Structures are given as C-alpha cells and as structure tokens.
Structure 1
Amino acid sequence: MPVKFVLNKNAPPGSVPVKIYTDEVEPMALQQLKNIAQLPIIHSHLAVMPDVHVGKGATVGSVIPTLSAVIPSAVGVDIGCGMNAVRTSLHAHQLPDNLKALREAIEVKVPIGQGRHKMISARESACKILAPGVDRLFEKHPGLLKKLHQPQKTWVTQMGSLGGGNHFIEICLDEANAVWVMLHSGSRGIGNAIGQHFIQLARRDMAGHMHNMPDKDLAYFSEGNPHFFDYIEAVNLAQEYARVNRQEMMKLVMNCLKTQLPKFTLTSEAINCHHNYVVRERHFERDVYVTRKGAISAKKGQLGIIPGSMGARSFIVCGRGNAESFHSCAHGAGRKMSRTAARQRFARQDLEEQTLGVCCRKDKGVIDEIPAAYKDISRVMENQSDLVEVVHTLRQVICIKG
C-alpha cells in the first residue's frame, strides 16, 4: 500500500510533511510527530511506518532524516536494538514432541532478563574487539561510569545476554517446515548508559533554547557542538555492541541445539539488522543522518526481519527500496496497548489461550507481552506492501522472553 495519509500536507512555515503508512495512529503519537516535524534540522519529510505508536523521546515507527544534526532521545536508550535470524537444515519432524527441555536448555546457556554471564572471560574474544572503543569512551566521558555498576565488568559479562522487556529468542518454522532461530536484543547496559548520558548533555547544551522547542526530549546536537562527534562515536560503538551481542547469542543457541537435536547445517546467510539506530545516508540529494526509531532499513534487495508478537507470525522480507520511506519499513507489529494497560486488562488464562501451541512462559510476569497488546501483524504487512516483499513466513514453536 502507498502512503495512507500526510500530516502537514500543506506544511506550515517551519514544518515538514509527515508521510504515514497507516490510518491507525493514536492522538499522542500524532502530536509527537508534529513536534518532530517542526524542528529546523529535518530534511524533506518524516516517514512513519504502519507499526507506529507513542514512544519515549520520539515516536516508535518513525524515520527521521536530519541535516548536520542528531537527536539522542530519538535514537533512545536501547541503541542498536534489532534482530538476528538464520535458517537451519532441520525440519519440524526432527524437533522433540515436548519442547520444554529444549527451551530450558537454551535458557541455561543464554542469560535472560537481568542475568549476565558469571565468568568475565565468557565472551572474551567478542569483547576484545570492542575494548579499545569502550576504554576511549569511558576516558572521554567519565560521567558514564556513574551510570554503570562496575562498568568495566558489566559490559563484558552482559555480552551474549538477552535482557528483558520485548527481547526474545524463538525457534520458528517456515512455510516448508524448516527450522529457524530468531532473536531480538540490543546493546544492554552500556547502550542504556550511553543514551541517558548524551540525552542529558543535549538538554543541557540546548537549555537556553528550550523555550523554542516543541518538546524538550527533542534536544539535539548540531555538527558544531563539541559533543556531536563524541555522540556519533559512542552510538556507533553501542550499535556494534548490539550487533555482536546478537551474534554471540546466536552462537550460544546453535551450540545448545547441537547437543539437543540431530546433526544440522545452516542453510541461509544470517540476517543481523538494527531497528533503533542512526546512520549516515543520502536521500533526496542530501547527505543526512537517518534515525530509524522502531524501523529497519529496506533498501532494494536487502533482507530484513519483521517479528510479530509471541503468538503471531513473523516475516523475512526483501526491501523494495522505496525512496519515500527513506528505504525503510516497520520493525514489528508495534504495541497498541501500554504494558500497564495490558497487565490490568488480561489474565494468565488469556495469555495461555493466545499462545496456544507455543512453548513459552505463560505466567503473570509476561502478561505485558501478550499478543493482544500488539497490533495485527497481517494489517501491518498489508500497509507496507510498497516497502517490502515477503520472502518467508515464520511461526514460532518456542519463545523465550527476558
């Protein structure tokens, strides 16, 4: 489907159009988008994906192109959060009838929630690659040390761990019953600390101009700001940490499967993509910083992952390279209900019914992740048919939530 409607179609002075790929947008999200559109640093227009919903700092599902500037709170604190997926040579009939033991074996190998590896050397080789950048970051910004408990140890022991919230590991089957492994996580504590640190610096640096800002959360660094390149360096480090973190978790899951299942090989290239990040790209004849807040890159021919909820389908997609969306697409189903509202409305029985056939936690601790708290993934995919082509449709048989 093409753009559903345009906010600020006849853009008022000092504002840009907002092109939205759905007609289901909550009023608070529309106000957030209007606020972003008023910033003088926005290039051309905003693109809004069909999984759009209210976010902290900026609207989730928004693609924000900025000229010689970046908005730390638009990138957020889960920097580099994204997806990793790979197909195996295994098929459904090779999985055990009872999947609980396999799920529990993965949970032992991969720390979930607030868990981390006990040994500081657990992911030594992966951390060694990132160590120079981390050391330089702590040296230039000692304030980060206050935001991390035992910082030199935390970022190392969290490498290869899942985290909480909507992060997950899934075993899925595609339309041919081939077994896939798919996971969702980000930069863990170090990304959170980087995000918080630079969001506060941006607010402080723009303190004298806040009266001109539609929302103080949208404080930004321009290229002339002394913190601009420090932030770019730090956010790139967090994004690389997130990518490597997913890669390390995938290794752990694969090692676990090798001990539990028949011998197998990998039959497709691993897809590892961010959906909370900023990157330098060229669009509409200008070099810009593109912040994808709950969106993934969908360049022509580029593979991506769009997960549903823990009881819905997920999709491996191929980008169409749609210029109007800044070569982007949705990052998932998108929430339609807050976590608090989901806990108040649903009970354990609802969760059990909505995750029937999926081996997963079904206790009150994950009710906020109940499928009904998310938008209909089929509708999301229908609304972005101009942006991506579906390559594989996946359904999960195991879902591990943090």
Structure 2
Amino acid sequence: MASTKLTGKDLRGIGFPEGRAIGAAIRILEKSYKGKSRIFKLEMLKRVVETPALFREHETLGPIAHALLTQTEYNKTIDLNKKRIEYRVYGIEGIEPGAINQMEIAMKLPITKAGALMPDAHQGYGLPIGGVLATKNAVIPYGVGVDIGCRMCMTIYDLPVSFLESNRSKFKKLLLENTRFGQASFKQPRDHEVLERKEFSEIAIIKNLKDRAYKQIGSSGGGNHFVEFGAVHILNEENELGLESGKYLGILSHSGSRGLGANIARHYTKLAMDICKLPNEAKHLAWLDLNSNEGQEYWLAMNLAGDYASACHYQIHQRLADALGEEHLAIIENHHNFAWKELGENGEELIVHRKGATPAGKGVLGIIPGSMTSPGFIVKGKGDHASINSASHGAGRVMSRTKAKQTLSKKEVSQYLKSAGVEAIGSGLDEAPMVYKDIHKVMAFQKDLIDVIGSFDPKVVRMCGDERFHEVD
C-alpha cells in the first residue's frame, strides 16, 4: 500500500515556500487528517497556500495559514539597533575582549531592555558566559545556554571536618560508588516524579528523550561538573541556615540537565535561528516570541530541563546521604543557564537570561564555587538593580581548554593538588585549578551584589575522567 504521508518535496510542488510553514503543515496534516489520502491532503493544502488569509481562523488549518502569511517577514533579516543600551560591567580588567564584544552586540538587540556582565565572564556562543540579559516577551535559547538549568547544590552535615581528614579513602570510595559522570550511568536508576511530567508526552522533541533522561538521572555531566566533599565554614550565628558558626562537613555538586537539556537547547536554537534572521555576528542570539507556539513550547521544555537538573542533584545527594547514614542540617541550591520572568524597576515584566550567572535578588541564597584548590562561597543576594539581581556563577576561566591541554602537564597539576591538600578523582588538564581566575578577586568585584555568609573548601573531588564504573552499581 502506498504511503499517505506528505513530504517537503510534495508541499514545495504545490507552491509552499521554503521555511517553517512546510514543517507546520506536515505536522498538522499528519495529526489531524491521519488516514486521508495524499491527494486529499494536497488539495486541501493547495487551497490554503493559494489564499491563506481565508484560513486564518480555521480551527485546524489556522496555524498553517499564519505561518504562510508571516513567512516573508520571517525570512527578512532583523536589523540591530545602531546604538546599544548602557550596561554595567563588573571587574572589566579581568574580562577578555571577546566577551565584551558579545555583550555589546546583545545590547543592540531590538528586544533588549537591560543587561550586565559578571566578573567571571568569558566568551561563549551568543551571550557570553557571565552575561545577564533582560528582554521583553522573548526568550533566547542560546542566552539560556546548552546545559539548561545547570546548578549548584550543597548539603551540610553535623559531622566534624576532622572525620573527613582522617578517613579520606572512605570518602573517595563513597564518591566512586555513588556518583557517575559523562557517559557513565547507573545500572538501576532511581525513579523520580519529574519523569512523569506531561511534557514528555505532549512536546514532540521531548517524547524521544524520556528513556535517555531516565537512564541519566542522578548522574553528572563532563567538563567542569563535579561532586566533592569539603569543609563548610559558617561565619556567624546570624544566618538564614539556622546553623551555629563553625565548621561542618559538606557535599557540593555542580551539574545540569544532561542529554535532555542539551537536545532541547539544540532543537530550539536551530528553530529560533530559522525563524529569527539576524546579522551574522548576532545569529546565535536569535529569539522566540513568547506569544508564539514555539516560544511557549520552549518555555515549558526549558522549565522541565531545569526541574530535571534539580532532580539529578537531589538523587546525587540522597545516594551519598544514604551511604553516610546521616541526615543533613541544611541544603542550598541555585541555578544558572536559565531564563526567569521578573519585574524590572518600573514594574514591567522582563525575561531575565542568566547564562553562567547566579540569581542574587534581595535575601536569595546561592553558592559561588572557586576551583578544586580554592574556596567557594555561600552568599546572600543584595538585590542590586544594576546587576539585574545577579552575581557571578564561579571564578571564571582565565585559560581556554585548548591552551590548558597544550601548556599544562599531569605531573604539574598533580603536584599542585597535593600541595593544596586536595585529592581529585578523574578531571582533565582543561579543568586544572590554574585555568581559573582568582576567586578572591572575583568576589571583591561583586561585594556590592552579595554578602558572604559561609565558605566551602574542597578536600576530595570527583569529576569526569574515571570511567571504571560505567553502568554498574
């Protein structure tokens, strides 16, 4: 029996222009007119493409007509504003020119309302890492980033730091047995309610990602993602955590939404670039209008990825808590690589993109890590408007991954870690402590944005690179 499914070639043959209207037509016809003959479908679409205005209000064919009517507009290149909006840069002397240039371009987008550049900033794709951008009713997939909802999570335990120092081999074993990185996964993943979300059945791109999401849940990515044991130092009695000042054993993790988030990011970035044509230097800043079906769909997918990333951290910490046999005293979590709906100074709703930036609204708690051999900090936001209620998400790179691999040696890095009293499992030369900026200088640049209420000193660190436990429990 001949197939009744339509192809792009079929639609171009009856006059459909190249672009999004073809995809919309095929999706709608195959869903709403499944089983109908190709001749029936093509005759119907031919009427729509010849007089799309007559079908604008049609219950089923309306979206196709809308896509056809706006096709010409979508194919036009959108001009950047000639003059950029003013924005604040924190610690400009430590930020590479490439990141500044990317921010300059972002501030010329016609949808941009405000922006800021954090002191850990460095060049990325589209919006720089450390870039904060507020837009009006539009979301930029590459302004969110590829690792959607990447986050920090810390649990604090009523255990003395001396216990960690005298039992390092035990804590190393705990990390090896209860964490997975990169391509490694647990043979028996734990279930989580996030996997039952309706988006997995309602959004086409996500339907095919559920099995992968289940397989990877509770694991960490590669690159700069980590899980580590260390010493938490609470500075004073007056703190939002309800803890006495002093030192505690803590676990800190950094990871994101794994393959789920990466595939969502790639899909909607391509879609945005197809719909929103920008000059070449700004093409990765293509946006989706939140009044459009595509924008609403991405918003749902982005939030799902963020919740999935949180679920991964919850399971990482729960597995380690079970192995320790301890209940935590406090838990802190914050994320970056995300977009939030927030109110600007004049009460206008804005879409705030924080690509590698920590939310720092008034009283909001967060964690800003350093490197394997430098402290991270527990912080409380001051709600600074110039920074769009944001702070850095770490120390920031001072050396590219390529340069690190070309200039550093394993022996050199090993000696550096040993002298700092840190034991690392996995990790590559591109994540050596020397590739990062001085966290103390970064923190000094943002003293008006956050208050420090505690610190974290890494002691036993695991990162991607040790794959001996691939798919085993």
Normalising by structure 1, we get a TM-score of 0.87
RMSD (CA atoms): 1.7
Q: For residues 170-209 of structure 1, what are the structure 2 equivalents within 5 Å? A: 170-175=228-233, 176-206=246-276, 209=277
SS in 1 for 2:329: coil
1:130 Cα deviation after fit: 3.3
Q: Deviation of residue 108 (structure 1)? A: 1.6
Query: 1:161 is matched with which residue: 202, 219, 234?
Result: 219
Question: Relative to structure 1, is the Cα distance of residues 278 and 305 closer, same or farther in structure 2, using a 3 angstrom cutoff?
Answer: same
Q: Deviation digits for residues 202-245 of structure 1, max 9, x if unmatched?
A: 01112xx334x641111111234330100101101101111111
Separation in 2, partners of 1:160, 1:257: 17
Unaligned runs of 5+ in 1: 1-11, 259-263
Q: Which residue of 2 aligns with 1:223?
A: 290
Q: Any idea what SS the aligned residue of 1:318 has?
A: strand
Deviation at 1:303, TM superposition (A): 1.1
Is the CA contact 2:131–2:355 (under 8 Å) kept in the aligned structure 1? yes
SS of aligned partner of 1:227: helix
Kept after mapping to 2: 8 A contact 1:18/1:33: no
* Secondary structure in 2 matching 1:201: helix
Is residue 2:99 matched to residue 1:29? yes
Tell me how far 1:191 sits from its aligned partner.
0.4
- In structure 2, stretches of 5+ residues that fail to align are 1-80, 234-245, 465-473
CA-to-aligned-CA distance 1:97-140 (integer Å, 9 cap, x gap): 25133213222222222111212xx321x1x333233423xx43
Report if the CA contact (8 A) 1:68-1:223 is conserved. yes
Give the structure 2 partner of residue 358 of structure 1: 422
Contact 1:71–1:220 (CA under 8 A) maintained in structure 2: yes
Counterpart in 2 of 1:349? 411
In structure 1, the partner of 2:134 is 65
Is it true that 1:303 corresponds to 2:362 in the alignment?
Answer: no
Q: TM-score, normalised by structure 2?
A: 0.75
For residue 113 of structure 1, give the secondary structure of its aligned residue in structure 2: coil
- Higher alpha-carbon deviation: 161-170 or 99-108: 99-108
**Bigger radius of gyration, 1 or 2?**
2
Whole-Å separation in 1 of the counterparts to 2:198 and 2:123: 33
Larger RCO, structures 1/2 (Cα 8 Å, 6+ apart) = 1
Correspondence for 1:100 among 141, 163, 169: 169
The answer for the alignment partner of 2:307 in structure 1 is: 240
Q: Which residue of 1 aligns with 2:339?
A: 278
Q: Is the 8 A contact 1:296 1:329 kept in 2?
A: yes
Please say if residues 354 and 370 of structure 1, whose CA atoms lie closer than 8 Å, have aligned partners that are also in contact: no
Question: Following TM superposition, by how much is the alpha carbon of 1:152 offset from its aligned partner in structure 2, in angstroms?
Answer: 3.3
Deviation at 1:96, TM superposition (A): 5.4
Write the letter of the residue equivalent to 2:345.
F
> Contact 2:396–2:436 (CA<8 Å) still a contact in 1?
yes
Q: Aligned to 1:323, what secondary structure does the other structure show?
A: coil
Q: 3-state DSSP class of the match of 1:210?
A: coil
Letter in 2 for 1:132: R
CA distance in 2, matches of 1:129, 1:35: 37
Distance in 1, Cα, partners of 2:345 & 2:83? 19
Q: Which amino acid aligns with 1:319?
A: G
Maintained 8 Å contact 1:115/1:163 = no
SS in 2 for 1:74: helix
2:201 corresponds to 1:131: no
2:440 match: 378
Q: Is the 8 Å Cα contact of residues 83 and 182 (structure 1) preserved in structure 2?
A: yes
CA contact (8 A) 1:88 1:178 kept: yes
